[in-house]
Amino acid sequence: MTHQNRSDSNLTMSVGLAALLWLAACGGPPAATAAPAVSAAPPAETQPAPAVTAAPPAETQPAPALECGSTPDLTRSMTEGPYFKADSPERASLLEPGLAGTRLTVTGYVLTPDCQPVVRALLEFWQADAAGQYDNTGYTLRGHQFTDAGGRYALETIVPGLYPGRTEHIHVKVQAPNGPSLTTQLFFPGVAQNQSDQIFDPSLVLLVQDNSGDGLAATFNFVVNDK
């Protein structure tokens, strides 16, 4: 060790000693500042993994069995009609105070042609109210949403009314993030006017799961090209 190093070493020791004396004189660091570090949660690596014990996030839950073969049919496209309006609000529920009509929920998946759920698919719904009227000035009964991490969507709305020449239907555009936009319509089972509607298509009829309450719960899976 050189003289210079020894001097540095001595200096370091002196400074260290002075600091210790100062701490002793002051009674050490205030307890209030030391305590939280001790009583706080242990470092992350020593914590029991919460992800294991907590409920798994939605995207990790096994999806219910999908009823489609390895090559399900693409959802049939339908005319857009005259009442589409761009820039609808993002909302899964189209319900608003004072909105009359039979409550309806429609849930399902957006799937690729090989039956894989599509994450963040865009769904844009628009429909007539219970009296068969479209809101062409505002956005009543119009809205868009995106499928979740499991490829699921859920729409809350009302059963649309009839208007001249048309049976009950809900308009929808569906688009996978990198796919083309599919424009189509959803129909309701057991509606007498289905038979006289020129564009009614049985492959686009909602599957009603429950109509025992004061509303209707139905499902529909869309199959769209994702590229």
Footprint of Fe ion (CB under 5 A): 81
Smaller CB separation from Fe ion, 109 or 187: 187
Q: 126: phi > 0 → left, psi -120 to 50 → alpha, else beta; which?
A: beta
CA-to-CA dists, residue 108 to 15, 54, 63, 116, angstroms: 71, 26, 11, 13
Nearer to Fe ion, 104 or 118 (CB): 104
Q: Which is nearer to Fe ion, 113 or 161 (CB)?
A: 161
Q: Closest approach of Cβ 182 to Fe ion, in Å? A: 16
Tell the smallest beta-carbon distance from residue 86 to Fe ion (Å): 16
Please report which helix (H) or strand (E) contains residue 21, including its range: helix 3-26
Structure tokens given for 4: 């210079």
Least spacing, CB of residue 90 vs Fe ion, in Å: 21
Are 144 and 121 a contacting pair, CB within 8 Å? no
Please, what is the minimum distance in Å from the beta carbon of residue 171 to Fe ion? 6
Q: How far is the CB of 220 from Fe ion (least distance, A)?
A: 17
Q: Cα–Cα–Cα angle for 64, 200, 75, nearest 5°?
A: 40
Reported as type and span, the H/E element at residue 158 is: strand 152-158
Nearer to Fe ion, 81 or 179 (CB): 81
Minimum distance, C-beta of residue 54 to Fe ion, in the bound complex (Å): 44
- At 201, the amino acid letter reads D
Nearer residue to Fe ion within complex by CB, 109 or 125: 125
Can you tell me the distance from the alpha carbon of 182 to that of 172, in angstroms, rounded to the nearest whole number?
8
Strands 103-111 and 222-223: parallel
Between 81 and 215, CB nearer to Fe ion? 81
Q: Which residue is nearest to Fe ion (CB)?
A: 81
